Every structure is written in C-alpha cells, then in structure tokens.
Structure 1
Amino acid sequence: MPEPWLPIGVAALQMVSGQKLDDNLQSAQALVATAAKKGAKLAVLPENFALFGSKKIFTLATDEARDGAIQHFLSNLASDYGITLVGGSIPLPSPDGRVFACSFVYGADGSCLGCYRKIHLFDADVGDAQGSYRESDSYAPGENILVVDSAVGRIGVGICYDLRFPEMFRRMLDQQAEIIVLPSAFTRSTGWAHWLPLLRARAIENQCLVVAANQGGIHDAKRQTSGGSVVIDSWGSVLAEAGLGEACVIAKYDREEQRALRQRMPVSQHRRL
C-alpha cells in the first residue's frame, strides 16, 4: 500500500500591483516568502502581478522575450523557497503585434512545468470609472488549456475571465486535473457580484481544489479590483479568504479526502453530454 498523502499548505497571494516593476517584484517575493514560512507547498500570484494598468506591457513583453528576467525571477523564487509557484501572468509578444498573457508554472526545483496563454479576453462594458474594457485591443488569445504534473498534484491553469467558461475546466478534468488555479484581476463591480459564486461552482462541479489569487485594491483613478483571494475545497467550502489589500491566504489541501469524495460521488462518470 502506498503511504497516505498528507494534507499540504496552499496559498493564494493577493497584491495591489501598480506601474513600478521593482516595487511589484519586491511585494511578490515577500508574499512568496511568507507563504513558504507558513508551510505552503503551492503558491499562486495574481494576474499582472509584475506590472498593472500600463502600456509598458509591450516594452515588458519585448524585454521578457529577449532576456526572460521575470521568468528567471519566478524560477529562482520557486527554488529558493522550495515551493511550486504559479507566476500570475506576464506579457510575451504575439505574432500579430499584441501580447499574450502568459502564466508560467515552476516546480520547487525551479524547473518550468508549463506555460498557459490566456484564452478568453475581457471585452465588456462595466458600470465603473473605467467603463469599457477591451482586452483584445492589446492581448491576443491563446488556444490551448494547460494541465501539468507537479509535486502537489495535477494543476490546471486559467486566468481571470476564463473563470466564466465552465467548458474549459471540464476539459481540464478530462486531463485528470486535481487543482485549479486562477490568477486574476477582477474588476470590483464584477468581482463582488460573481467572483466567489463562480469559483465555488468550478470547485463543486469539477470536484477540484481551487486556489484563486486576485488583485485587491485601488490601482489608479479608474481601476479598482475586488480582492477576495480564496482557497476552496472540492466540496465548495471556503477554507480561507482575503478581503482587500495585500494578503497571503493559506489553507490545507487534503488530496486523499478529495479522492474519496470523487469515489463516493463519481460525478465525472455520470456525464451524459
């Protein structure tokens, strides 16, 4: 008989990123250090953690394609703190002149386990100070889902607006995903209305752990994000949750209990469509 899988710590890292790259990287490092100190073996940074609300994304994407400085930074964080790290999102150039929103996953040895390019782009009119969002003006959509093996289990990666498309997460489940991670930057108006209900739904319907790291504060005169970074178990129970502001949200992931739930209630085997 294999040894039982003991519960492990998982962390959603909430930031209020701005337009100063060095400040954002320092905050990210401090949060990863806190998560590791508290025993987390998996940590998730939010969308646009390194640079938020700036047209400098195009310069950053070009620089990153050339020297990969932020990718090296994330790899070193993972290995320095011995933690599986989901690196929020960073921009990389797309062939059409826009950028991809890319989420890299690193193992505890610093190795890159995979890179996900955000598929669903937020083009919507929202009743806030920003008013209209046209993410596709700057970003190109990815085409493929990502599920990777890691020391903490099979991880499926989505980014922010992907959360609203349940068929994407069903495809992750078909690839044996056990954990869903969601780096995000939800607007305050949409986040306070829909963030938690959608996350709980994804956890319940796929019987997966969900670790969702959001931006959570005021970024400029027009942009406010909703916070509420959270860890939700496969039953849909909220294990830990942030409010607004910078935060490190940690809870225990019981992989054996999740597997037992899937056996007691084999929802995925009952699918007809």
Structure 2
Amino acid sequence: MSKSFKAAAVQMRSGKDPERNAADMEKLVREAARQGATYVQTPEMTGVMVRDQQARQAVFTSQDKDVTVAAARRLAKELGIFLHVGSTGILRADGKIANRALLISPRGETLATYDKIHMFDVDLDNGESWRESAAYEPGRQAVVADLDGTRFGFAVCYDLRFPQLFRAEALAGAEVLTVPAAFTRQTGEAHWHVLLRARAIENGAFVIAAAQGGLHEDGRETYGHSLIVDPWGRVLAEAVHDEPGVIVAEIDPTQSAAARAKIPNLKNAREFGVTAASAGEIRGAAS
C-alpha cells in the first residue's frame, strides 16, 4: 500500500495573458511546496481565461510551445513535486483545441494527459449561456495514472456532473479523483460542494478540486472554494472564498481502502435493465 503524502490545491484568477498567469501559478505552486506538498494541482484553464474565439486562437499553441506547460515542467523538476496542471488550452495537430490536463513528474516529464470529455453547453438563469463545444474538441478517453503507488483519476470541471466517469476510474483502481475546475458562481453556489462530496462518498476516494475564483478579465465570474475531500465525504481543506491561494491536506491512501471495505458498493454493483412501464392516463382530482 502506498504511503501518505501532502496534497495542495492552488486557487487562481487567471486572465488573458499567459505569461502573467504562468507567473501567478509559479508563485502559488512555490507556496504549496513550501508547505510540504508533493502533489500540487492547479485549476482548469490555468494558462489563459478568454471567451473571445479570435483571442483564443491567438494565444493557444501546441503543447511543446505552451508557456504554462514549460513553466510547470521547470517548476516540478526544481521543486521535486508532481505538478498537475488542471488544464490549459492546447492546439492539437489537427488544428482543433483541447481543454487538456497534464501531470508533470518530479523529473519534469509529462506522465499523463487528459482531455476534458464533457463540454459545458448550458443555458443558465439570468441569460448566462455557455457553448464549450464551439471552442474545444472533447476528449474520448478516461485516464488513471500511478503516482508513487497511489492511483489518480482525472476529470475537468463539468465532468463532475457525470458520475459514470468517476465510477470507471474508481473501478480501475483510482484512490484519488481530481476535478480542477472553473465553476461559474451561479452553479458553484448551488452544486459545487454537494457534487464533490458525492463523488468522494460513492467511490470511496479522495477528491481534490482546485478552482478558479472571482471576476476575470473576460467578464466571467467563477466560484472559487477549492476543496479537498476524504473518502468518507469529510472536507479536509477548503478555500472559503474566491481569492487566489493555496489549501493543503494530508492524503492517506489506506483511508480509501477502509471506506470501500465499510461500504463495498464498488463490489456490490449489479447489472440491470430498465423497463419503461405505462400506467395509462393519469387524471387530476375533480375540483
């Protein structure tokens, strides 16, 4: 069984300038490492937060030329940590853009990448509307990676609302589930805490979720409240605000095994079909 380690979630307020965002990321990652974290996660869209399509095309580049990726590799190697870039926009060889998470090793090497699968195509109250599928190409593959004997499962933001992804990763051995995000303030206030705790409880896994927070240069407002949750659903650490900062918690992977032994729902799950029965016409009571 793998040993305990200290994990950190970095909360940011990324803007339109990749160089400035990389500098902000570096400052916060260094603080996390100073606090003893050997795994550090940054939020979704660490590299740049920009809604305008032409502006996106101007700043996004290939993975080997990306400013955020280069800074993360340098930092991980210098600090001797696993650095998880929650995501950044990466220009693919086919000209499409991926919303891509990257896991960097203490040697500065890319251990794993994950492209966000579920696109945030929604119409919210007060006229707030998003169409991520118009900007990004969805991923098609779930990813689980081994970090010094602890298995991590990957997701990004809106993926949180699709429990089948997390269940598949838990069944593949993931003891820690990751959800770097840029939740809107409206949806975050309603669902952020309950969804993260639910994914932890139903899978008997730790959940680490670094978030964007506050009012961004492109006009969007994100919720913040980065969280680290244990396999029993208890909040171990929270940024109780939307300001940039760092939260840290001790991760003991044996707690995942203990939770799954107490409530073995991963083992007890059964295959089933769905019967759509009709009860005929339903009438209201006479007034």
TM bin, normalised by shorter chain, reads: over 0.9
Question: What's the RMSD between the two structures over aligned residues?
Answer: 1.8
**Number of the residue aligned with 2:86:** 88
Q: Tell me the distance in 2 between the aligned counterparts of 1:214 and 1:173.
A: 22
Instruction: Name the CA shift for 1:210/1:253 in 2 (closer, same or farther; >3 Å).
Output: same
For residue 156 of structure 2, the aligned residue among 135, 156, 159 is 159
Q: CA deviation at 1:149?
A: 0.8
**Number of the residue aligned with 1:253:** 251
For structure 2, which runs of at least 5 residues remain unmatched after alignment? Answer: 272-287
Q: CA deviation at 1:263?
A: 2.3
Q: Tell me the distance in 2 between the aligned counterparts of 1:65 and 1:112.
A: 11
Q: Secondary structure at the match of 2:261?
A: helix
Q: CA deviation at 1:96?
A: 6.2
Larger deviation, residues 174-183 vs 94-103: 94-103
Whether the 8 Å contact between 1:186 and 1:215 is mirrored in structure 2 is yes
Which AA in structure 1 matches 2:266? S
Whether the 8 Å contact between 1:183 and 1:212 is mirrored in structure 2 is yes
Q: Secondary structure at the match of 1:183?
A: coil
The reply on whether 1:22 has 2:19 as its aligned counterpart is yes
Which AA in structure 1 matches 2:192? W
**Number of the residue aligned with 1:263:** 261
1:154-193 → structure 2 map (5 Å cutoff): 154-193=151-190
Q: Tell me the distance in 1 between the aligned counterparts of 2:86 and 2:197.
A: 20
The reply on whether 1:41 has 2:24 as its aligned counterpart is no
Q: CA deviation at 1:256?
A: 1.9
1:1-273 → structure 2 map (5 Å cutoff): 5-55=2-52, 56-62=55-61, 64-65=62-63, 67-94=65-92, 97-128=95-126, 131-151=128-148, 153-220=150-217, 222-242=219-239, 243-273=241-271
Q: Tell me the distance in 1 between the aligned counterparts of 2:72 and 2:83.
A: 8
TM-score (normalised: structure 1): 0.92
Q: CA deviation at 1:257?
A: 2.5
Whether the 8 Å contact between 1:61 and 1:92 is mirrored in structure 2 is yes
Q: Tell me the distance in 1 between the aligned counterparts of 2:128 and 2:141.
A: 30
Instruction: Name the CA shift for 1:152/1:57 in 2 (closer, same or farther; >3 Å).
Output: farther
Cα displacement string for residues 127-151 of structure 1 (whole angstroms, at most 9, x for unaligned residues): 25x6211111111111001101112
Which AA in structure 2 matches 1:184? A
Whether the 8 Å contact between 1:19 and 1:54 is mirrored in structure 2 is no
Q: Tell me the distance in 2 between the aligned counterparts of 1:144 and 1:245.
A: 33
Instruction: Name the CA shift for 1:177/1:25 in 2 (closer, same or farther; >3 Å).
Output: same
Q: CA deviation at 1:107?
A: 1.6
Which AA in structure 2 matches 1:167? Q
Please tell me whether Structure 1 or Structure 2 has the larger radius of gyration of its CA atoms. Answer: 2
Q: CA deviation at 1:259?
A: 1.8
**Identity score, percent:** 37
Q: Tell me the distance in 2 between the aligned counterparts of 1:37 and 1:124.
A: 39
Whether the 8 Å contact between 1:42 and 1:152 is mirrored in structure 2 is no
Cα displacement string for residues 213-258 of structure 1 (whole angstroms, at most 9, x for unaligned residues): 1101011473100001010000000001012110101111111222
Instruction: Name the CA shift for 1:24/1:170 in 2 (closer, same or farther; >3 Å).
Output: same
TM-score (normalised: structure 2): 0.88
Which AA in structure 2 matches 1:199? L
Q: Secondary structure at the match of 1:217?
A: strand
Which AA in structure 1 matches 2:186? S
Q: Tell me the distance in 2 between the aligned counterparts of 1:156 and 1:66.
A: 24
Q: Tell me the distance in 2 between the aligned counterparts of 1:171 and 1:262.
A: 15
Which AA in structure 1 matches 2:172? Q
